[in-house]
């Protein structure tokens, strides 16, 4: 079913272009990065915590969760990665310390060697900046998750995450009111720091506004959901659009 997908980084380049300006040559250089395709089964950890990896993982299809855990094994997802994301681009410059990766559902990734990415960044300053910027978007999302878990009640946490995914699942970061989100309530609990029981109850309390059934989200009332989740897309979208970041160097 998944064999129709082009096993290359096209979607990643497209994502970068939302926030950064890259010349044709630079785009081609990224697309020419060596990749190695890997299929993963659901619930499979494929980058372990404290493991020092030598490649970054581009998500081609499926859903990936980044996570950390406490010493007694409690897991906390810190980020969901949809197709088009590189789940651990940061590991290129810092191969440890930002958690493990888990395939939430059956997932296909492309492995890209760190060495190749670093070489590219060193050769093309605009690419280095684009990668750096992409990592900072990631950090902005992470920060929202901290606010979510620290400062909102169960219903609002779920609403916020569902809003975030509604923006990030869309092709050009526009809001989509219906999207695939193949998580179990248990996994959602690990993302929101709630138990699966409480996720279940809180989701029920939201069912006039949105429903999550067998990995599929339907949002019936976006405004209300955004209000409940106190969702303001500025942190995701604030730097998108035309030519925000002028180039500092000529395309080489």
Partner DNA sequence: CGCGAACTTGACTGTAGTCAACCTGCGTGG
Partner DNA sequence: CCACGCAGGTTGACTACAGTCAAGTTCGCG
Question: What is the sign, positive or negative, of the torsion defined by CA atoms of 189, 42, 91, 123?
Answer: negative
Show the site string, 58-97: x = touches DNA by CB under 7 A, - = not: ----------------------------------------
Stretch that binds DNA, among 17-25, 75-83, 93-101, 178-186 (CB under 7 A): 178-186
Could you give phi then psi for residue 225, rounded to 5 degrees? -60, -45
Q: Which does 41 bind (CB under 5 to 8 A by kind): DNA, a copy of itself, none?
A: none
Task: Name the nearest CA neighbour of 111 among 169, 72, 58, 69.
Answer: 58
The one among 58, 80, 145, 181 contacting a copy of itself by CB under 8 A: 145
Q: Does 195 bind a copy of itself (CB under 8 A)?
A: no
Pairing of strands 64-69, 100-103: antiparallel
Pick between residue 154 and residue 166 the one whose CB is nearest to DNA. 154
Residues 229 and 153: their CA atoms lie apart, in Å, by 9
H helix runs in 3-113, sequence order:
10-19, 24-31
| CB contact at 8 A, 101 and 57 | yes
Q: Does 197 bind DNA (CB under 7 A)?
A: yes
The one among 38, 93, 167, 175 contacting a copy of itself by CB under 8 A: 93
Pick between residue 10 and residue 230 the one whose CB is nearest to DNA. 230
Question: What is the sign, positive or negative, of the torsion defined by CA atoms of 196, 197, 200, 205?
Answer: negative
Stretch that binds a copy of itself, among 7-15, 39-47, 101-109, 238-246 (CB under 8 A): 238-246
- Shortest CB 5 distance to a copy of itself, Å: 29
Residues 85 and 134: their CA atoms lie apart, in Å, by 9
Contacts of a copy of itself in 60-89 (CB under 8 A): 68-72, 74, 76, 78
Q: Which residues of 35-61 are buried (b: 16+ CB within 10 A; e: fewer)?
A: beeeebeeeeebbeeeeebebbbbbbb
Stretch that binds DNA, among 11-19, 50-58, 189-197, 228-236 (CB under 7 A): 189-197
β-bridge partners, 40:
107
Residues 240 and 226: their CA atoms lie apart, in Å, by 20
Q: Does 53 bind DNA (CB under 7 A)?
A: no
Binding site for DNA (CB under 7 A): 42-43, 153-155, 184-186, 193-198, 200-204, 214
Binding site for a copy of itself (CB under 8 A): 19, 50, 52, 68-72, 74, 76, 78, 90, 93-99, 118-119, 121-123, 125-126, 128-129, 131-133, 135-140, 142-147, 149-152, 193, 230, 232, 234-236, 238-239, 245, 248-249
């Amino acid at each position: 079913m998944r064999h129709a997908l082009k096993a290359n980084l096209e979607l990643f380049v497209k994502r970068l272009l939302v926030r950064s300006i890259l010349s044709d040559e630079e785009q081609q250089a990224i697309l020419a990065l060596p990749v190695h395709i890997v299929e993963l089964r659901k619930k499979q950890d494929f980058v372990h915590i404290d493991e020092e990896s030598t490649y970054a993982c581009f998500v081609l299809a499926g859903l990936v969760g980044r996570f950390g855990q406490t010493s007694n094994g409690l897991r906390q997802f810190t980020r969901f990665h949809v197709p088009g994301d590189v789940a651990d681009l940061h590991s290129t410059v810092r191969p440890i310390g930002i958690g493990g990766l888990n395939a939430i559902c059956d997932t296909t990734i492309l492995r890209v060697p760190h060495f190749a990415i670093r070489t590219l960044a060193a050769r093309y300053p605009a690419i280095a900046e684009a990668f750096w910027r992409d990592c900072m978007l990631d950090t902005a999302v992470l920060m929202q998750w901290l606010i979510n878990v620290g400062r909102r009640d169960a219903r609002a946490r779920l609403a916020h995450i569902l809003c975030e995914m509604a923006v990030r699942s869309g092709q050009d970061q526009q809001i989509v009111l219906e999207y695939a989100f193949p998580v179990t309530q248990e996994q959602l609990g690990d993302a929101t720091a709630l138990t699966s029981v409480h996720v279940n109850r809180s989701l029920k309390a939201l069912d006039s506004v949105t429903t999550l059934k067998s990995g599929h989200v339907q949002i019936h009332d976006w405004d209300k959901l955004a209000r409940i989740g106190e969702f303001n897309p500025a942190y995701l979208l604030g730097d998108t659009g035309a030519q925000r970041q002028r180039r500092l160097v000529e395309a080489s």
